[in-house]
Chain A
Amino acid sequence: GQQVMQIPQYQHVQEGEDFTTYCNSSTTLSNIQWYKQRPGGHPVFLIQLVKSGEVKKQKRLTFQFGEAKKNSSLHITATQTTDVGTYFCAGRGDSNYQLIWGAGTKLIIKP
């Protein structure tokens, strides 16, 4: 079945450094969504990408969808303490009836 692999599992950064998480699918995705889950909280929708090669920005966050629609990335510039949490991607294959979730990347700010 379709799988969505997300790496890395954890990323420790100093405040002000950049952060990137990657998602790779075994099959072509019709679209991909990104969510953020704060510690102890629930996932909150950030954005959806639909088109091949699409790039969207939200302030310091940049989201990309690969040309082949099999991979996606989220890049945060100059991390802040408010960015702490786990970032998930979730994608749907062309023949799937449900979203398949990546395992998430936990962003940890070093003290």
Chain B
Amino acid sequence: DGGITQSPKYLFRKEGQNVTLSCEQNLNHDAMYWYRQDPGQGLRLIYYSQIVNDFQKGDIAEGYSVSREKKESFPLTVTSAQKNPTAFYLCASSRQGGFVDQPQHFGDGTRLSIL
């Protein structure tokens, strides 16, 4: 079955620590996205990538970094500069849609908490 795999499901971060969230897809999608979801709020875009070796900042990129070395993989690092990292992180992918958007397919998410 094709899909998106996020790991780990739960993650705890110590003060001053960087942590990396994994996102892998086997849907052969060009575009990948990272969102942050806080309770009672919609999804906010952290970073997105439309093609390998290229990515763009979303609305809340400060304190986060990404890489896109392979089409299948789009890991997100939450750095120590992100002072409020506790949230539900969702990775998504889609085909390139041009003017009309393509549906986004989501992984099961990673819940990050501060120790």
Contact = CB atoms under 8 A, between A and B. Distances in A.
Nearest to A43: B106
B106 A98 contact: no
Chain A contact residues: over half helix, strand or loop, or mixed? strand
B101 A99 contact: yes
Interface residues of A, number: 24
Nearest to A30: B99
Contacts of A33: 101, 103-104
Contacts, number: 52
A90 B107 CA distance: 18
B106 A42 contact: yes
B48 A98 contact: yes
Interface stretch (A61-69, A75-83, A101-109): A101-109
Interface in B70-110: 90, 99-101, 103-109
Given A41-B108, A42-B90, A98-B48, A6 B103 contact: no
Contact of B43 (A9, A31, A43, A92): A43
Given A97-B56, A98-B58, A45 B105 contact: yes
B56 A103 contact: no
A43 B45 contact: no
Most buried by B among A42, A50, A98: A42
17 contacts: A30-B99, A31-B100, A33-B101, A41-B108, A42-B108, A42-B109, A43-B43, A43-B106, A45-B103, A48-B100, A50-B100, A88-B43, A92-B101, A98-B48, A98-B58, A98-B59, A103-B40
Given A35-B104, A41-B108, 11 more contacts: A30-B99, A42-B108, A43-B90, A43-B104, A43-B106, A44-B106, A88-B42, A88-B43, A98-B45, A103-B40, A104-B41
Interface of B: 40-45, 48, 56, 58-59, 90, 99-101, 103-109
Interface of A: 4, 6, 9, 30-31, 33, 35, 41-45, 48, 50, 88, 90, 92, 97-99, 101-104
